[in-house]
Structure 1
């Protein structure tokens, strides 16, 4: 028997008991056994023998499959096949075949494993959690685990530049032997910068069985950060300006800075106490 890997819900799954015999061997029966998930022992699930006109699905086989088609010994000189439909998680286990030959002890095959593949679902939710500052953390780190953490520090607002936050993404996204599918949680921890303002942290499921667009986007990050030191440029850019009667010698001053909340610009001329204009944009222009 060889290992099988099929997708959940598949019909026509076949367990094959293949064998070779010597010319003088008389095969009396072929039995299928499955590992009991409670005792870890192998128990009979089906048999095809010369003593019965029809192959039979036994009690534990009925528990596993409900019904199945089993070929007769007379159908093939080298193989007995058990076929069942609607592959389920509980079918993921070890199986083996036991061959009975007249006047010889039964022979067991090497156990084979049936793997049940489960297509992942789209992540259910993404939340932001505030985490303690770790000065050694300079790059984003991602990790996966099956445990859950408290959301007491869930971030709803007030993210500041330099804060450490963890993005928590949860959903039925993977499979492990014995459990078929499970609820998995992935974490991404990073230190927030001003460039992260209005960013979207997308959680994407990556799997050979995943469909397209298997992702979820949380709301955009709202990062508060201090106003940057402004820079002022002038146009035309000259060392000195000569005044000519009737000639326009206007100068345009441009002040550029950034911050969140959005900064307010105050322009002063001569006496610092004399404000001549104000602006609410990221870049302010003053024409004098």
Structure 2
């Protein structure tokens, strides 16, 4: 897998997240262990190494973490975010005051390991869609406060992003439909107030609901929730490309190839961000 070609986020967007994490880790009096055992003036070169294979994300954040601790550290990023790596590969070198490297180590590894895990799982999902038009997308099931970087990691894994917030698009779910009085009622209400710049998606559980959505009109996308594969195939036939179709609900890795073969446009999975295992990374002096 090659690195994604889009521009990285500006450091200033990511710095507040990293600064908060460093402040949490430093506690009320900083790294008392390092101050006690590392003499002033001791310098080292450390290597951030992959201890397993996967797809890397969080290298930009790791660099920010070390530089916030000590701007004089010399950092060489050898592998960019979005790159596939092998076990034992060196991703970054950090050279300078040993105390500074040690103080930034945990925060850098926490971010890079977590985000690389998301990117790696996303890449596995994407691989299962080979030969189809289906795109893999994440959801809002993210760690509070870390949505931006976790969704960035999905991009690094070759996936796509769903809404970042409730204000990005109109997504009408089953509870909205129940509370507002039905599919026609919610779509009519939406058409009355929605900006021409805002996309509208509506969730359906059955083909009968899908048929009603198509009759009423007003939806750009339809979320097909918890449908089995034969039902998804029929949904694709019914819509004939009139709306974008997103399959969702219990979308695990072992089902992605089958679902993408139905012809849906997107498969959304909360597992990308809420169930990804941390990629094993380590910092070695």
Instruction: Classify the TM-score, shorter chain.
Output: under 0.3
TM-score when normalising by structure 2 = 0.25
- Bigger share in helix: 2
Q: Which has the higher contact order (CA 8 A, sep 6+)?
A: 2
The structure that has the greater radius of gyration is: 1
- TM-score scaled by length of structure 1: 0.24
